[in-house]
Structure 1
Amino acid sequence: MKKIIILLALLVVISCEDKKELEFFKTYDESELLQKQQEHLIPRMKFKLLQSKVLNMNTIFKPFNDELATNFSEEEYNNLKPLILEQDIPSIQESISKGILSYEKLTLFYLYRIRKLESDSSTTLHAIIALNSSVLEEARARDKNRDTSNFLINVSMYGMPVLIKDNINTSGMPTTAGAIALLENENTEDAFIVKKLKEAGALILGKSNLSEWAYYFCGTCPVGYSATGGQTLNPYGRAIFESGGSSSGSGASVAANYAVAAVGTETSGSITSPSSQNSVVGLKPTIGLLSRTGIVPISTTLDTPGPMTKNVIDNYILLTAMQGYDATDSKSFEVVEKDFGDLEDSFKGKRFGVFKDIFRDSIFKFTMDKIKEAGGDIVLIAPRKVGLPGFLSILNIEMKHELPKYLKNHADKKVEVTSVKDVITFNRLAPALRAPYGQLRFINIGKDTITPTELDVIKKTLKTTARTFFKALETQNLDAILSINNSHSAYSAVAEYPNLTIPMGYKKSGEPISLTFIGKPNEEGKLLLLGHTFEQLTSHRKMPKNFK
């Protein structure tokens, strides 16, 4: 009997040891880095913490560990790199057409890469919040059904693994907006754009980290921080450069080649900022081109999702897959099919407006010279300096009214908070865990006393003001206005103008810098064409050196 007991005990020990072997993610000592951060020149880069206190990445990866152990290896990972890293969708689809790659292997590659880099404390970006436990089964189904699908495969999202910002409802995974108050927001229907992606055959790989509540929660807190996911880091300089936000995890993930593409959201700068900071292509489309149904809201006036990719053609393909009229979204409109045009078009005869005050930037000036050499006309403009008074009131009042609607109609019934006020109360019960940087913006929402009538006046006034700011688009017959990063995102937000940001190079420090094209409503096609021409002319994007 003793021998049997000893044998059973040994089996238990061995079993425990086997389980430990599968614990790829371990808590690391962040104290030294946090101490160093207190010397950072940017105040909001003085981080208080890096790692999530509630996320267990070992649990998230548990459904994949056996498959990765038996069906994928380090050797195969390295062999597949040339076929996947930095490749555009048409190139990846071509490799699959030739039989040298499959959707299953593509998905395994990304899962392996995420686990490899995110489990290493020297490379982790804290960019991932959740993974789709069924994604490998779905990838195998895409392989099986590829020949009978109705898609123009080489220019479609069919079989392409995509990451979704964690304020966008995705069935089978929680949608937390980075907030602990929404950790149980699991049983939700897909957001409208996620349904469209699935209809297009895309694979939802997982959810990306973000600035909590889309960066409308705390005051001067770090961009890219959420209580759910921890502190998103920039792959071009971890804890050196800001990650941008609020679509921080989407930007960092695409830059690090964690997926083919990602979806972000923007109210004001939340796609253009992280795209610029992470040297990826980001499009903030015209409000209403893409549905907002099923997305945790800030402002019904200004919110929009948008594509974030490594190149312009992928941006176009992802954008097209998400389009569609949504009768439940008051801003949604029927998309008029437009020819994307000749991708080999040039800058000859194109007119670009440039603000005089940013022409001093050396990288920007060099870029303007390149555009002129390619036949583009640069028109210096000096718009009247105007403020945007009442801008925050739009966000305050609309979030106060729209968040309860989302929580009632689109959230899991297990979620107990029903309003901004409830979230504030919930966080005060454990502030060090739930709101380590405070919740100033949420508190200010409750203090804003603007009436609905006053709000309507503010919205109309700001829209007119912002469009006057960009009036050179009309008066100078411009194809686009050019800017740096998200410098003019607030103006384009209230004007409801689309923006496309594309890598423009890197500063001496190695920090990415991007060129942003601002156009008139419903001119995404033109912006993408101009962006593609610029991309082909310069080819500025480079992989982060520790993520090759």
Structure 2
Amino acid sequence: MRFLAFTLLLLLFSSCKQHNSQSPVQSKSDTTDIIDISTKQFTEFKVLDSKYMEVEQLWEPFNAELASFSETEYNNLKPFVLEQDIPRLQKYVQEGKLSYELLTKFYLYRIRKYDRANPNSLNSVIALNPKVIEEARKCDELIKTHGLKHPIFGMPILLKDNINASGMPTTAGAVALKDNFTEDAFIVKELKANGALILGKTNLSEWAYFFCGDCPSGYSAIGGQTLNPYGRKVLDTGGSSSGSGVAVAANFCVAAVGSETSGSILSPSSQNSNVGLKPTIGLLGRSGIVPISSTLDTPGPMTKNVIDNAILLHAMLGKDMDDFKATDGISKETFDLDNFKPIDLQGKKFGCFASLKEDPLYSKALQDLANFGAEIIEIEAQEIQLPDFIRLLNLDMKKDLPTYLKHYADNNVKVASVEDVIVFNREDSINRMPYGQKLFEGIVADNGTEKDLENIKSTLKTNGKLFLDTPVQKHQLDVILSINNFHAGFAAVAEYPAITVPMGYTADSGEPKGLTFISKPFSEIQLLQWAMAYEQATKLREMPKGYN
């Protein structure tokens, strides 16, 4: 079980490629064969296109509207939309160069052009809001009479398809939830209250990558196989918020929302040259989101740049009274978005892992930060393990999924438990579970008690905090610097927030990588400010070639 736990931990939550010198520390006995498994790259897929999505049906609500939106108009709008941040988009709207309706049509046209059923298809979008153009027109009318209520107003946002949103099914990528039409999740209500447009849903690694085990990230039965625009069929998308990462990278939306248990925002954000924030657990409401673990789950913003990340986070803030971990550690009132700007790095103490300095992009990022005034302090990763991590997820999901299905799913959904999903999938295993359902079977086989769960949670949190707090306290660090999602497991169990920012592309394959900042709970504003300082000084994000 110990070998299986570490194998699955790396496979699930370190889905982007790692090397021995860059991986979180394991004991010697645990490293045999595990790195080989964690670096396995899927370039030949059992399934590429979804057998359950009808592309023509997806576009039926928009055919008439898009018939009058020409390729010429699309090309004319490119300079005002591609790679633009939210403040600039809002400026173009105010100047009359853009409208929310045109912005929405631009993204719909672009998704239709690139996402499915073509040689460059990415399979990142799983559903579209049939009323989004009508809602965009209402935003155009409202801004004339009411002004700009929030920077997110009128901005088309995509949601990972484990987040409930009315008018579209919430499937978690699973056939069992194909007709799961729901009310809005808490964070979706907050987004709408601030005027955001819900453009649609993104594909994900099915059941947020806690389902099949030996399968590629970015695959779901409903959505098919999502592909990385920086290396289609070559580079991993990262998981489990794969579709969100790819859609943002390909400019299919202004921004997207992902979710993370351990690495599921950080991994696809770094793999797709995005900014991804995993907030402190409880900062963003979680009711109405298909769960893995009520202990570790959190939604979070995924964007092309830091300012958009701050705006999207701000728009989702609010205390969710149906979430037992809900907190108002940062409120809309305490987060002064109007005066948000990068923080001076002079004298800030940033800890770096000695073992990661072999990575040339990481080494260059450290030098850049030092040039900007930060004090870089080398730390050694302690040999601390995260025992029974998989069992935590097993025991949480065994109780948390039935709770979601009972209180937040459509009454017509026939499954009520993990066991029910397993039985359902076996009725048509080739189409519903082509890579198997080993992790779901592991959930059912785990007979741990509530006491076992509490003991596991306590040990993991203690170990996670020890791993991060020890160097922070010893050196009085402001932040710890990592790569991609390499230390996501420790940040998860310690309940530390983390943000990843593009730090460049590998020389051999052009694979994107992210510099990841990890800091104490409720330090999101500072993390965003530090990340913005690095981003603005380096400006390393590039659009994926072939999608401009």
Q: Which residue of 1 is the match for residue 478 of structure 2?
A: 479
Query: Displacement, 1:122?
Result: 1.7
Paired residue type of 2:180: N
Please say if residues 129 and 167 of structure 2, whose CA atoms lie closer than 8 Å, have aligned partners that are also in contact.
Answer: yes
1:143 aligns with 2:140: yes
Check the 8 A contact 1:473/1:520 in 2, yes or no.
Answer: no
Give the Cα–Cα distance (whole angstroms) in 2 for the partners of residues 453 and 324 of structure 1: 32
Write the distance in 1 (CA, Å) between the matches of 2:348 and 2:99. Answer: 41
Deviation for aligned residue 1:152: 4.6
Q: 1:102 to 1:339 in 2, by over 3 A?
A: closer
Aligned to 1:68: 66
- For the residues of structure 2 that align with 1:136 and 1:294, how far apart are their CA atoms? 25
1:522 and 2:522 equivalent?
Answer: yes
**What is the aligned counterpart of 1:173 among 147, 150, 168?**
168
Query: What do residues 306-365 of structure 1 show as CA deviations (whole Å, max 9, x unaligned)?
Result: 000000000000000001001110000123414466624332111100111111111111
* The 10-residue stretch of structure 1 (538-547 or 329-338) with the greater mean CA deviation from structure 2: 329-338
Residue deviations 1:483-505, cap 9 Å, x none? 00000001100000001000000
Q: Secondary structure at the match of 2:515?
A: strand
Shift in Å, 1:57: 1.4
Shift of the 298–527 alpha-carbon distance from structure 1 to 2, 3 Å rule, reads: same
Equivalents in 2 of 1:45, 1:479: separation in Å? Answer: 40
**Per-residue deviation at 1:449?**
1.7
Q: What is the aligned partner in structure 2 of residue 100 from structure 1?
A: 97
Which amino acid is the alignment partner of residue 494 of structure 2?
A
Normalised to the residue count of structure 2, the TM-score between the two structures is 0.90
Matches within 5 A, 1:84-233: 84-149=81-146, 151-153=148-150, 156-186=151-181, 188-233=182-227
Amino acid at match of 1:392: I
State the alpha-carbon separation in 1 of the partners of residues 44 and 524 from structure 2: 37
Kindly tell me: are residues 194 and 342 of structure 1, through their superposed partners in 2, closer, same or farther at Cα, counting changes over 3 Å?
closer
**Cα distance between partner residues in 1 of 2:116 and 2:301:** 27
Name which of 441, 449, 461 aligns with 1:463: 461
2:349 to 348, 351, 354: 351
Q: Secondary structure at the match of 1:354?
A: strand
Correspondent of 2:239 among 235, 241, 245: 245
User: Partner residue of 2:79?
Assistant: 82
- The aligned amino acid for 1:197 is L
What amino acid is aligned across from residue 355 of structure 2 in structure 1?
D
Partner of 2:36: none
**What's 1:494 paired with?**
493
The Cα of 1:225 is off from its aligned counterpart by 0.1
- 1:494-513 equivalent positions in 2, closer than 5 A: 494-508=493-507, 509-513=509-513
Separation in 2 of the partners of 1:422 and 1:150?
Answer: 50
- Answer yes or no: is the 8 Å Cα contact 1:179–1:212 preserved in 2: yes
Structure 1 SS opposite 2:281: coil
Per-residue deviation, residues 266-321 of structure 1 (Å, max 9, x unmatched): 00000000000000000000000001100001000000000000000000000000
Label 1:383 to 1:43 Cα distance change in 2 as closer, same or farther (>3 A): closer
Deviation track 1:442-488 (CA, whole Å, cap 9, x = no partner) reads 00001112211121111111111111101222331111100000000
Letter aligned with residue 455 of structure 2: V
Deviations 1:372-419 (A, max 9, x none): 111111011113211111111110011000111111110011110110
Q: Distance in 2 between matches of 1:321 and 1:343?
A: 17
The 5 Å alignment of 1:277-426 reads 277-334=271-328, 335-336=330-331, 337-339=334-336, 343-426=341-424
Query: Shift of the alpha carbon at 1:46?
Result: 3.3
How far off its partner does 1:88 sit?
A: 0.2
Partner of 1:47: 45
Deviation for aligned residue 1:149: 2.9
C-alpha displacement of 1:43? 4.8
CA contact (8 A) 1:267 1:493 kept: yes
| Aligned position for 2:546 | 546
Give 3-state SS (helix, strand or coil) of 1:470's partner.
Answer: helix
Tell me the number of residue pairs that the alignment of Structure 1 and Structure 2 aligns.
504
* Identity across matched positions, percent: 56
Residue identity in the other structure for 1:541: R
Q: How many angstroms apart in 1 are the aligned matches of 2:415 and 2:283?
A: 31
CA contact (8 A) 1:383 1:470 kept: no
What corresponds to 1:268 in structure 2? Answer: 262
Structure 2, gaps ≥5 residues long: 1-38
CA contact (8 A) 1:178 1:226 kept: yes
Aligned partner of residue 294 in structure 1, secondary structure: coil
Deviations 1:201-253 (CA, angstroms, capped at 9, x unpaired): 00000000000000000011000000000000000011100000100000000
Quote how far apart the aligned CAs of 1:42 are.
2.9
CA offset digits 1:75-94 (Å, max 9, x no partner): 01001000000000000000
Q: What's the counterpart of residue 22 of structure 2?
A: none
Question: Which digits, 9 at most, give the CA deviation of each residue in 1:33-64, with x for residues without a partner?
Answer: xxxxxxxx835443111000010111011111
Identify unmatched segments of 5+ residues in structure 1. Answer: 1-40
CA distance in 1, matches of 2:41, 2:420: 29
Tell me the distance in 2 between the aligned counterparts of 1:344 and 1:494: 28
Aligned residues of 1:44 and 1:220 also touching (Cα < 8 A): no
The alpha-carbon distance between structure 1 residues 421 and 120, as it changes in their structure 2 partners (threshold 3 A), is closer
How big is the shift at 1:168? 0.4
Q: Distance in 2 between matches of 1:124 and 1:401?
A: 37
**Shift in Å at residue 118 of structure 1?**
2.0
Cα contact 2:275–2:499 (8 A) shared by 1: yes
2:449 counterpart residue number = 451
Q: Helix, strand or coil for the counterpart of 1:363?
A: helix
Corresponding letter in the other structure for 1:190: D
Q: What is the alpha-carbon distance in structure 2 between the residues aligned to residue 412 and residue 404 of structure 1?
A: 13
**What is the CA–CA distance in structure 2 between the aligned matches of 1:118 and 1:407, rounded to whole Å?**
30
2:284–2:299 Cα contact (<8 Å) kept = yes
The 8 Å contact of residues 42 and 236 in structure 2, kept in 1 or not, is answered as no
CA displacement at 1:150 relative to structure 2: 6.0
- Give RMSD over aligned pairs: 1.2
Q: Deviations over 1:138-160 (max 9, x none)?
A: 0000000103336455xx11000
Which has the higher Rg, Structure 1 or Structure 2?
1
